[in-house]
Amino acid sequence: MSFPSVVEIAGEVRAGRVTARSVTEATLSRIQRLDGGINAFTAVTHARALVAADAVDADLAAGRPVGPLAGVPVAVKNLFDIEGLPTLAGSKIRRAAAPPSRDATLVRRLTAAGAILIGALNMDEFAYGFVTENAHDGPARNPHDPNRIAGGSSGGSAAAVAAGLVPLTLGSDTNGSIRIPASLCGVFGLKPTYGRLSRQGVFPFVESLDHVGPFARSVEDLALAYDVLQGPDPEGDALCVRAAEPLSGRLEDLAERPLRVGVLGGWFQQGAFPEVLGALNRVADAFAEAAPVELAGAQAARAAAFCLTAFEGAELHRDDLASRALDYDPAVRDRLLAGALLPKGVHEAARRFRTIFRDEVREAFQRFDILLAPSSVCPAPPIGQATMEMGGVPVSVRKNLGAFTQPISFIGLPVVAAPVNRPGQLPVGVQIIAPPWREDLAFAAALRLQRDGVVAAHPPKGAP
């Protein structure tokens, strides 16, 4: 099979038609052959993967139960703790850090479900960026055009799935770092409600904005991974206390659910490239009941998210900035230093505005079940391109790819990022945004769009 899905691999392994070891060996071989042109991986856990695969096969041979991800190869952004491997967070500073003694909570949940950890993935340094042009590990390349960015900061996570290197990865999203690379690489991504999934063992960036979530090539794969990852972890992440609400067994019913759909205009369409607006309109047209809606505070919410990011990021890195500033990627260092100069009052004002904007969005969800918006301003720009035009004005690529994602993560809403089906063209995606804790509504819309052929993962050029 070419680019087999999570559901397919797990089913074949459980049925005994393939072994976990054969899947793992094929995955490791594919990474060795192809990742040189993608640069998604910063480490491959070859020995660990084979041991884990053999353990799954031994359980099956002995008649012992195996998990829902039995034999499925997975990889994680290199800010997730992996036992015995330094947690780089994309940086030079952490190359000599002591390796963690155990995996992050979500890595443990994946492997407990039978998944095979294959390695760690490239990212923007300390997750501060939208491009994954890492100064230390090199850029993660877009599988649809290796001269273009994969997006960021979870660029390696999206590129690895898009290239068929692994069918499932984990990333993080503070201001758009799952949704943007999912859009630019043409795969599905989930940014769940703030506090839904545990961040234990994940190197922090902005505590009040950090989310974690999966990438996959279908809604079904995304839902299966989401189910495995859920559950309270109050000792590891004090915010993660909500009971699991599984979705995989409910997808058929969800697909039939009637939905009231709002299409975000105003800020969420200003400066968007024509192909992005065309993709949004195609998705909106799939819902006969879709209606336009604006959020008046969206631009201010984005500005407030910038302030929170800069201020809290600088606080986290204050000591290293004082002692090891030259070891930072200059693009990251300069923004952190600027954040260190912000007065505390700016941070407090940004936090106060969060309540105002949350109330505005809550009112919109009285009329709509989901909201639609673009995931990115444009398709993937070329690697090294510093500026692009938004509304005829040159702006920074690094700072503005997240123009449409930042207001949403500012208030912690759940989003399924879905790739619009555009064969032969560079991918673009949409955000399917739901009220807090209603990931099921975003999945319902995504599954309906997938079944109608409106959204689908893009096969990279030259895919077998």
The reply to whether 153 belongs to the active site is: yes
The reply to whether 399 belongs to the active site is: no
Nearest partner of 191 among 459, 432, 441, judged by Cα: 432
Active-site annotation holder among 5, 172, 177, 218: 177
Active-site annotation holder among 91, 153, 154, 409: 153
Active-site annotation holder among 5, 77, 183, 191: 77
**Helix, strand, or coil here: 237?**
coil
CB 52 within 8 A of CB 117: yes
Kindly report each contact of residues 335-340 with a partner whose C-beta sits within 8 Å and lies 24 or more positions away, as own/partner. 335/128, 335/310, 336/128, 336/310, 338/310, 338/314, 339/309, 339/310, 339/311, 339/312, 339/313, 339/314, 340/314, 340/315
**Helix, strand, or coil here: 386?**
coil
Q: Is the dihedral of CA 262, 267, 270, 275 positive or negative?
A: negative
C-alpha–C-alpha distance, residues 107 and 98, integer Å: 18
- Residue ranges of alpha helices (H) inside 88-131 are 105-112
C-alpha–C-alpha distance, residues 154 and 159, integer Å: 9
The 10 Å Cβ neighbour count of residue 451 is 11
Cis peptide before 22 (omega within 30 of 0): no
C-alpha–C-alpha distance, residues 446 and 216, integer Å: 13
CA atoms within 13 A on the CB side of 346: 17
**Helix, strand, or coil here: 149?**
strand
Phi, psi (degrees; rounded to nearest 5) at 443: -65, -40
Burial class (CB in 10 A: 0-12, 13-18, 19+), 57: buried
Residue 50, strand partner residues:
none
Output b/e per residue, 251-270; b: 16+ Cβ within 10 A: beebbeeebebbbbeebbbe
The reply to whether 157 belongs to the active site is: no
Q: Which helix (H) or strand (E) holds 43?
A: strand 41-44
What six digits make up the tokens of 182? 């999912």
User: What's the start-to-end Cα distance of the chain, in Å?
Assistant: 9
Task: For tokens 């780089």, name the residue.
Answer: 88
Active site residues per annotation: 77, 153, 177
